[in-house]
Amino acid sequence: MIARAAFPFRKSAGKRSVMARFSRDRRGLAAIEFGLIASFLAFAALNMADLAIYSRDRLQVENAAAMGTQAAFNACPLAQVPATTNCPTLNSSVTTAVHSTGLGNSVSLASGYPSEGMYCVNSTGVLVYVSDVNSRPDDCTSVGSPSNTPSDYILVQVSFTYSPLFGFSAAYILGTTITRTSWVRMG
């Protein structure tokens, strides 16, 4: 039998220091790692939710602008063109339609809208303003399309102020005011 004195470097289990035992203890390490990783995952999930809500609200604003122009077209027949002067229900119809989306009265009609003007399509296919409705030109020579005739368009512009879910959201990068414009040809 080997005597204990032959291995003097060996310590008994009771004499280990508390710090040495703590540094070797691996219990709870997974919980700590999960806590660190879960906080980053929660931040990413909240950003994704915020971006999804922002996208939905942006679509609702686009829908509100389109509904406003559709209401202008439905409320004012061609006999009442120019609609801004001859159609008494234009503003109320557009405002009611703009507020009929899921965002309700949070969507606002921009100042000066609905507006109306004479527009021509230029040689590159872009719609260009040529005059107001009271001074309609005979053709679209001013934009390089003399064979075309100007058309009456109504514009509706709406805006909505988005408020992100939390302060460090990625939606702040996109901006908090969402503005959309829609057009409709009246004649």
Q: Residue 117: pLDDT above 60? A: yes
**Once rounded to an integer, what is the mean pLDDT over residues 170-180?**
85
**Once rounded to an integer, what is the mean pLDDT over residues 129-141?**
88
Q: Which two tokens stand for residue 97?
A: 């339609």
**Once rounded to an integer, what is the mean pLDDT over residues 7-30?**
65
**Predicted confidence (pLDDT) per residue in 38-97, tens digit:** 989 988 898 899 999 999 999 999 999 999 999 999 998 888 889 988 999 999 999 999
4 falls in which pLDDT band (50, 70, 90)?
Answer: low
Other CB atoms within 10 Å distance of the CB of residue 29? 9
**Once rounded to an integer, what is the mean pLDDT over residues 128-146?**
87
Closest CA to 70 of 85, 90, 86: 90
- pLDDT at residue 183 in the model: 93
Domain edges within the chain: 26-185
The pTM assigned to this predicted structure is: 0.75
**Once rounded to an integer, what is the mean pLDDT over residues 123-141?**
88
